[in-house]
A and B are shown apart, each in its own frame.
Chain A
Amino acid sequence: MNTVQYAPSKIKKALVISSILLVFLALLIWSAYGVLVRDTNWSKIGTIEQVWRAITRFFPPTWSYVLQLGKPTLDTFLIALLGTFIALVLSIPVAWFAARNFTPFFPITYPLGRFIMTISRSVHEVVWALIFVAAVGLGPFAGIIALGMRSVGFTAKLTAEQIENIDYRPIEAIRAVGGSPFQVFMYGTVPQVLPLFIGTAIFQWDINIRRATIIGIVGGGGLGLVFSQKMAAYQYTHATACLVAILILVLVGEYTSTRLRTLIQ
């Protein structure tokens, strides 16, 4: 009797899954046709030989040039560092506003905090960079502010959530000994929130190294800027040398941030 009952629901499940797959496949074929077949100018791309030759123009990287990239690498590194620092400073008030339990005036400050966080995370770092390049000109300064704007959302969001989840017991204790609101904050709230705050800071710094290289391309300075300059000058192997430098920087950043984060815990 039971085997008969199971069979119909199994068949139903199989039917649903296969119809979803069919729809997906149809969409895939339709879009492949639209993009690859119709909208691609295949004559311009050339033969396989030509494509391969274009790729080889980028290799091998001009190793001697890598050694000359010390300053742009440092620039990118510092842009990431300063951008993260700005984000951290800004995320303190933003996280405070966006924490339901400590926000100073809920009807206004809470939505404001949440809004700032959302905007920060929705606008891509390249767009932020373009905005600030237009505002303050080309160079690292625009890049730093752009990264700050982009990172605030993440650090503030995690910090606000941590604030909303704190344990109230030490807070009660600090009030009971006669602590002022500042002391309640310093000894009750901060010890519970600080480790996470620092952890997100280190995490964002690592990500910002990668972001810094990209925004360099739109004028943010550092290795990204050098890369776009070399591409514009058709010096492809030099551009690849830039990529090598970027790779090294990113790897060093990742390693350092992982070690630091384990230290914090």
Chain B
Amino acid sequence: MGKTLQQPRQEEKSTEKKRKPVLVVKNIKKTYPSGEMALKGVSLEVYEEEFVALIGLSGAGKSTLLRCINRLVEPDSGEVYLDGVEITSLDKKSLRKARRDMGMIFQEFNLVERLTVLQNILTGRLGYIGFWRSLFRKFPKKDIQRAIELSELVGMKPYLYKRADKLSGGQRQRVGIARALIQNPKFLLVDEPTSSLDPAIGHDVMDEFHRTAKILGVPVLVSIHDVNLALEYADRIIAMRDGKIIFDGLAKDVTREKLSEIYQYEI
């Protein structure tokens, strides 16, 4: 649990340290059939081990952006690169393989209600499991062990055989986190992980999640509704409004004026 998932990149032998980004988003645009333009040309980069918070009002396009990155929603134009691979040009089969490298955590947990905690965590490995094993739910021993390890990491080990629909919100989100982590992802896409939780629980979950991501060395792009939560945990803040990015900088550089501009009211 103390080991990182990726080898640190070779530092280029130049005078300036040039980091290569893990995720590159170039000019993504998305208009919904209703005519509403959700993303009006969004570009960003996320580097190794960064914890980037995406903030903005509801409807600013945060959810859409996250889903365009792993193509749960197809962008109309623009490109997405994960570790140099162009996600947006992949065919269906290759896209499924690429999705294995992107863990996603959902606002409403998105667990399979009738399955147990252990089974839910294991579904994170489905991208690696063939037809017959999927049919009979026969996951490799290694995966099961890893699932148990991760359940312990997120504090859900006592509940391994409990059905997901018997869990509280905070517990469910922990399972969701474990499910994303069992993919050994190169990147984590997180959509408002605490919006469906009580503020106190949400804070705990956020705390543990942040710690876990840092321990495992996985870069994170997380959309957060609560500004204070974002400022508390993020290395970098990206703010969106009306489908565009209006701020992209270090968390410590976020001033009161900037926040007013983002949220259009006096803080």
Which residues of chain A have a CB within 8 Å of any CB of chain B?
167, 169-170, 172-180, 182-183, 186-188, 191-192, 195
Minimum distance in angstroms from B113 CB to a CB of chain A: 7
Q: Are A170 and B111 in contact (CB under 8 A)?
A: yes
**Does B64 have its Cβ within 8 Å of any Cβ on chain A?**
no
Minimum distance in angstroms from B177 CB to a CB of chain A: 12
- A-B pairs with CB below 8 Å: how many? 75
Which residues of B in the span 92-118 have a Cβ within 8 Å of any Cβ on A? 96-100, 102-104, 106, 108-115
Which B-chain residue is minimally distant from A176 (CB atoms)? B104
Given A183-B126, A186-B135, A187-B126, A178 contacting B108 (CB threshold 8 A): no
| Assembly CA distance A70 to B168 (angstroms) | 53
Q: Are B112 and A178 in contact (CB under 8 A)?
A: no
Q: Are A172 and B126 in contact (CB under 8 A)?
A: no
Given A170-B113, A172-B72, A174-B123, A179 contacting B96 (CB threshold 8 A): yes
Contacts of B97 in A (CB 8 A): 178
Minimum distance in angstroms from B23 CB to a CB of chain A: 15
Minimum distance in angstroms from A154 CB to a CB of chain B: 23
| Assembly CA distance A230 to B208 (angstroms) | 77
Minimum distance in angstroms from B122 CB to a CB of chain A: 10
Partner of B72, one of A175, A188, A191: A175
**Does B265 have its Cβ within 8 Å of any Cβ on chain A?**
no
Partner of B70, one of A167, A176, A180, A192: A176
Q: Are A182 and B131 in contact (CB under 8 A)?
A: yes
Q: Are A173 and B135 in contact (CB under 8 A)?
A: no
Contact with A along B113-147 (1 / 0, CB 8 A): 11100000001111101010011000000000000
Contacts of A169 in B (CB 8 A): 106, 108-110
- B side interface size, CB within 8 A: 31
Contacts of B88 in A (CB 8 A): none
Q: Are B115 and A177 in contact (CB under 8 A)?
A: no
Contacts of A182 in B (CB 8 A): 131, 134
Cross-chain pairs A/B with CB under 8 angstroms, 17 sampled = A172-B72, A173-B104, A173-B123, A174-B123, A175-B99, A176-B70, A177-B99, A177-B104, A177-B123, A177-B125, A177-B126, A177-B183, A178-B126, A179-B123, A187-B126, A187-B134, A191-B115
Given A177-B99, A178-B100, A186-B134, A192 contacting B114 (CB threshold 8 A): yes
Contacts of A176 in B (CB 8 A): 70, 72, 99, 102, 104
**Does B179 have its Cβ within 8 Å of any Cβ on chain A?**
yes
Highest count of chain B CB atoms <10 Å: which of A172, A173, A175, A191: A173
| Assembly CA distance A187 to B111 (angstroms) | 10
| Assembly CA distance A12 to B100 (angstroms) | 70
Q: Are B112 and A170 in contact (CB under 8 A)?
A: yes
Contacts of A191 in B (CB 8 A): 112-115
Given A187-B126, A191-B112, A173 contacting B134 (CB threshold 8 A): no
Minimum distance in angstroms from B221 CB to a CB of chain A: 14
Partner of A179, one of B111, B127, B135: B127
Partner of A170, one of B70, B100, B110: B110
Which A-chain residue is minimally distant from B164 (CB atoms)? A170
Q: Are A195 and B72 in contact (CB under 8 A)?
A: no
Q: Are A183 and B134 in contact (CB under 8 A)?
A: yes
Q: Are B72 and A174 in contact (CB under 8 A)?
A: no
Minimum distance in angstroms from B155 CB to a CB of chain A: 21
Q: Which 9 A-B pairs have the closest CB atoms?
A: A178-B127, A178-B99, A173-B110, A178-B100, A169-B110, A176-B104, A191-B114, A178-B96, A170-B112
Partner of A187, one of B100, B102, B123: B123
Which B-chain residue is minimally distant from A178 (CB atoms)? B127
Which B-chain residue is minimally distant from A186 (CB atoms)? B134
Q: Are B100 and A177 in contact (CB under 8 A)?
A: yes
